[in-house]
Amino acid sequence: MNRLRWWQRLSIQITLPMLAAMLAILVGLSYFMIAAQQQAALRSAQLELRSSLAVAQGSFNRMYTADRAIAVPELLSEFHVHPRIVNATIVNARKDLVAVYEPNLIRGDVQRFVDEVDPQLLSHVATTGKTVIHFHPEHSHLVAAAPIIESLSVNRQTQRNVLLVEYLHAPHWYQLAGVPWWPLGLLLLLFFAVGLALWLALQRFIARPAKRLVEAVTQFGRHGFVSDENLPLRLPNEFGILAHNIRRAAKERRHREAQLRKLSAAVEQANESIMITDLDGNIEYVNPAFCDTTGYSAEEVLGKNPRLLSSGRTPAQDYEALWQALSDGNTWQGELYNQTKDGVEFREWATISPLRDEQGNTTHYLASKLNITQRVEAEAKIEYLAYYDSLTELPNRTSSIQHLARLLTTAGSDQYGAVVLFDLDGLQRINDVRGFEFGDAILRATASRLRASVANEHEAFVANLGGDLFAVVLAPRLLTHDEVLADAQVLVKLILSELSQPLRVQDEQLSVTASAGIVIYPENAESADAIIRHAETAVHNAKDAGGNQTSVYDVSYSAELEKRYEIERELREAVNGEGLELYLQPQMSAAGGLLGVEVLIRWFHPKKGMISPGDFIPVAEQTDLIVDLGKWIVRHALLELKRLPAPLTLAINISPRQFRKYDFVYCIERALEDSGADASRLVLEVTENLFVEDTNDIVLKMKALQQSGVQFSIDDFGTGYSSLSYLRKLPLQELKIDQSFVQAIDDAEQRTIVDSVMAIAKNLGLRIVAEGVETEAQASYLAGRDHDVVLQGYLFDKPLAIEAFHQRYLKH
């Protein structure tokens, strides 16, 4: 915006007209004052002249009636004494001079004056007898005509002459002497004060606010925002309202610009190709994603038709449907086959919509297109991965179940087929030593050997069910059950032989064996999934037999698995609910005194009654359920230890899986703190198998608990990983002889073992506990070898419920 000149400023444009108006008012007032003064002067002159005429008229009338006409000129001369009376004469109605002031007559002024008088005026005055005074501004004088009674006729009718008087009256512009200077000064001062106040008010409420509004609007136009200090927001007039509206407009503009920026950024940064065309299909706008996808620059496509992208593979009916939808004002969606500038074909999912103006008329077309080439390929790959193993390129478990389901549907009642699973032996160990890439190479080689081995089998289906578990599905044939089984066993033998052949992987030669499980269908299951599960049961049975074995599925396998599953499920419910109970078995001295107890667990099922620990402990040992069960035992056993009188000890068997948990030490210490039991009377029994792996970690945990006072015992010593070296390193207080040795103590060889164990314990300073003592001879022999030996077994008592134990041993 250009800088305003002085006459363009609002304050000048408002002030000057107002000052001009005030000046006009002042001039008008002056004019009317002068006119009023002139009118007053005229009235004053007329009044003065009329007064003089009235006096003279009476004098003249008396002179004429008294017949003293000789004195009339003298009286006329007295008229001329007045400075403004220049002529005075008496004439008749015919303008004849009756009496005159001689000096004026001599100069000729009287005759000129009489000649200028209107005869009708004389006739009117003489007839009516009324005095008439006329002002002639062009001559600057007053002409007065007054009737004079000359005489009375015989019939008493009045005969009148006319007294003519010329009275000078020149109206002056203004008489300064008559000016009321004091009121006029106050008036001028008032005008000045009002003008100044008006100017200041204009500056305060109009000029400066208008200037600030101009600056605000300029700032708004240039930068898109308005500072509040530039807005007269507090003005109680239209400018204040305008300022608020400008601020609101600025905020609205910022909001809309922000939205436009977001929309523009969204369009510019969108992953979808966006294109806008006119109604003829000529391109008017494309975003960067369009250029990235097609390889064309914006300049290359502007003004051109989108058909330049067509690869020719989009069906013509799709284009017809597209234009039909747009012609009807609707949006079209569909898949297009296009190509880049370099001729590379790609697929797009396009959404093309009409753009409308405020009246609803279609002005442009908007196309939003997503490159779905990679997605289609990914979907195809996902579909492939859903049914195939990516590593071995064999059908996966899903494909196997679907294929087997189809075979079950088409198989006749007298047809049998076979499913064989192969599980590689020791692959996990190979992965740990050589890495997964090495193991993956073995899996690929195994898949290749399997395909080659069954290449000649009729409709043989090879699959990978996951990891190192492979499946061979043989289609049903018109053979008996035994014939199909015999053929399957022959095939399995050949495959196992082939798989065990030396294999070279990464310049290293090795041999890998496999375990096989066979299921004959459809007699062993009603569904494909069940057949696969039965085959897995069979292959697991083969692996449990040592590996490189073949197992044929038997119904008893599933029954055993079902039993183990039910035990695990119901035991988990018991751990979290009711049914578990602690039993105590006393530990006695050779003299028969009570030294301590061992805690044993019992499970009372609400329907099945008491379930033997030999049934549920092995099931718990195979899962982390043994950890939860162990925590339950420790928590409740320590509460019982709190009840036992000192110095009785309490022994708890700890599972190796529970002991290896990272939080084992914390759980024991927390349970001791919660129960308030004496840690020094707690004995944790562990088996030798615990020390097979990570002995250092085990020793650190034992020492940490030993600092709290907890004692440790080796349970079933001599039946597992027995080593004198670890006995010296471990912080042990007790050695427990397994009951198998104690109960065979009558055998000389077994006695030698017992004697050796007791000698070792004695030399290491360990307390000896012998479990499974059932006869006096066993107790006597053990006591004879070491009178401090602790005896435990049915000779003294069987495990008792807690309350029964207290009644029998602690009733005092």
334-366 in b/e burial notation, b at 16+ Cβ within 10 A?
Answer: bebbbbeeeeeebbbbbebbbeeeeeeeeeebe
7-34 in b/e burial notation, b at 16+ Cβ within 10 A?
Answer: eeebbeebbeeeeeeeeeeeeeeeeeee
The token duo for 16 is 């000057």
Task: Give the Å distances, CA to CA, from 99 to 64, 127, 128, 138, 162.
Answer: 12, 19, 21, 27, 10
pLDDT at 71 over 80: no
Say if strands 508-510 and 734-737 run parallel, antiparallel, or are unpaired: unpaired
**β-bridge mates for residue 714, sequence order:** 686, 735
pLDDT at 792 over 90: yes
| pLDDT in the model for residue 154 | 42
Q: Which H or E run contains 142?
A: strand 141-152
How many whole angstroms from its chain centre is CA 671? 46
Q: Report which of 726, 565, 582 is spatially closest to residue 644, judged by C-alpha positions.
A: 582
Residue 725 has a CB neighbour count (10 Å cut-off) of 8
Residues found in the chain: 812
pLDDT at 159 over 80: no
**Rounded distance between C-alpha atoms, residue 147 and residue 159, angstroms:** 10
Q: Name, of 245-249, 416-420, 618-622, the range with top average pLDDT.
A: 416-420
DSSP state of 5: P
The token duo for 39 is 């009118």
The token duo for 181 is 């200077």
Encode 444-462 in three state secondary structure.
HHHHHHHHHHCCCCCCCEE
**Cβ-contact 785, 758 below 8 angstroms:** yes
pLDDT at 716 over 80: no
**Rounded distance between C-alpha atoms, residue 401 and residue 386, angstroms:** 12
| pLDDT in the model for residue 176 | 61
Q: Report which of 293, 269, 271, 273 is spatially closest to residue 285, judged by C-alpha positions.
A: 273
Q: In what order do the strands lie in the sheet with 283-286?
A: 283-286, 273-277, 362-371, 345-356, 332-339
The identity of residue 608, as a single letter, is: K
pLDDT at 219 over 80: no
- 30-61: pLDDT as tens digits: 777 777 777 888 888 888 888 888 888 888 88
Main-chain dihedrals φ then ψ at residue 647, nearest 5 degrees: -100, 25
How many whole angstroms from its chain centre is CA 148? 117
Percent of the chain with pLDDT over 70: 92
Percent of the chain with pLDDT over 90: 24
pLDDT at 252 over 70: yes
| pLDDT in the model for residue 152 | 45
Q: 3-class DSSP state for residue 583?
A: strand
pLDDT at 722 over 60: no
**Rounded distance between C-alpha atoms, residue 651 and residue 125, angstroms:** 164
pLDDT at 155 over 60: no
User: What value does the mean pLDDT of the chain take?
Assistant: 84
pLDDT at 177 over 80: no
Number of H helices, E strands in the chain: 28, 27
**Cβ-contact 89, 76 below 8 angstroms:** yes
**Rounded distance between C-alpha atoms, residue 68 and residue 74, angstroms:** 11
Say if strands 550-552 and 283-286 run parallel, antiparallel, or are unpaired: unpaired
Query: For residue 363, what are the contacts with CB-CB under 8 A and spacing of at least 6?
Result: 278, 279, 355, 356, 357
558 pLDDT tier (thresholds 50, 70, 90): low
**Ranges 131-135, 403-407, 438-442, 695-699: which has the least confidence:** 695-699
pLDDT at 698 over 60: yes
**Rounded distance between C-alpha atoms, residue 533 and residue 465, angstroms:** 11
327 pLDDT tier (thresholds 50, 70, 90): confident
**Rounded distance between C-alpha atoms, residue 433 and residue 456, angstroms:** 36
DSSP state of 206: I
Residue 442 has a CB neighbour count (10 Å cut-off) of 19
The tokens 């084992």 sit on which residue? 664
3-state helix, strand, coil in the chain (%, to 5): 50, 20, 25
- 506-531: pLDDT as tens digits: 888 888 899 999 998 887 667 888 88
pLDDT at 669 over 90: yes
**Cβ-contact 243, 220 below 8 angstroms:** no
Q: Is 95 left (phi over 0), alpha (psi -120 to 50) or beta?
A: left
Q: In what order do the strands lie in the sheet with 158-168?
A: 97-100, 85-91, 158-168, 141-152, 132-136
Sign (positive or negative) of CA dihedral 316, 318, 319, 324: positive
Q: Report which of 660, 740, 735 is spatially closest to residue 700, judged by C-alpha positions.
A: 660
178 pLDDT tier (thresholds 50, 70, 90): low
pLDDT at 812 over 80: no
Across the range 341-359, mean pLDDT stands at 88
